[in-house]
Copies of this chain bind each other. A is one copy, B any other.
């Protein structure tokens, strides 16, 4: 932006810059159709320079996924660990709010979207995401559920159904908004959306009152 000299010496920042550019291009065109030259241009470099930092196009994809997986896993674990023991219901509401905020933001959900689209063709990526993100999320949700059951806030529902009930709507939200351009009819704000969903799920998780 500011009159930067053409040759800037900052090799330590380059890998991240290239990964940012790669995410943008992969996200727009998909891995196979993305051209390395486009990534290079987006990063303000020539194609050759990109190969000084990454051995191949696939290495960029791997780097990208690793980065994103790390962030996601950290976020999920932190959030649940923070709120779970004290107040499972509030922690659950917070988790859904965070999930919908993230999944509704095209900048944030770009990486998960990419993983969704490409993981089928890259077993290594699928395995990495599974162990670094999904397994972590499952453990966190399991802990949250257990805490809720112990405190009497939740019924002892199946953990895998609980995981699908919690994470699924977030994925649906992502797909509807960022892939299909589906605007919600009523609830524009992701936080309201999250609260409406929390309202359904928390009610569903409550121990059944023996009425009716």
**Residues in A lying within 8 Å of B, measured CB to CB:** 27-33, 113, 116-121, 126, 129-130, 134, 155, 157-165, 167-173, 175-176, 178-182, 184-187, 193, 196-197, 199-206, 208-209, 211-212
Interface of A is mostly: helix
Complex CA gap A120/B114 in Å reads 10
Complex CA gap A129/B182 in Å reads 11
Q: Contacts of A121 on B, CB cut-off 8 Å?
A: 28-30, 33
A210 smallest CB distance to B (angstroms):
9
Most chain B beta-carbon contacts within 10 A, residue among A31, A121, A170, A175: A175
A197 pairs with B30, CB closer than 8 A: no
A134 pairs with B176, CB closer than 8 A: yes
Q: Contacts of A199 on B, CB cut-off 8 Å?
A: 157, 161, 204
8 Å CB contact of A169 from B165, B187, B200: B165
Complex CA gap A32/B28 in Å reads 13
A193 pairs with B33, CB closer than 8 A: no
A38 smallest CB distance to B (angstroms):
14
26 sample A-B contacts, Cβ–Cβ < 8 Å, listed by A number:
A29-B121, A30-B121, A31-B32, A33-B121, A116-B116, A117-B117, A119-B179, A119-B180, A129-B180, A130-B181, A157-B200, A158-B187, A158-B193, A160-B185, A160-B186, A161-B196, A161-B197, A162-B200, A164-B169, A169-B169, A171-B171, A199-B204, A203-B206, A209-B209, A209-B211, A211-B211
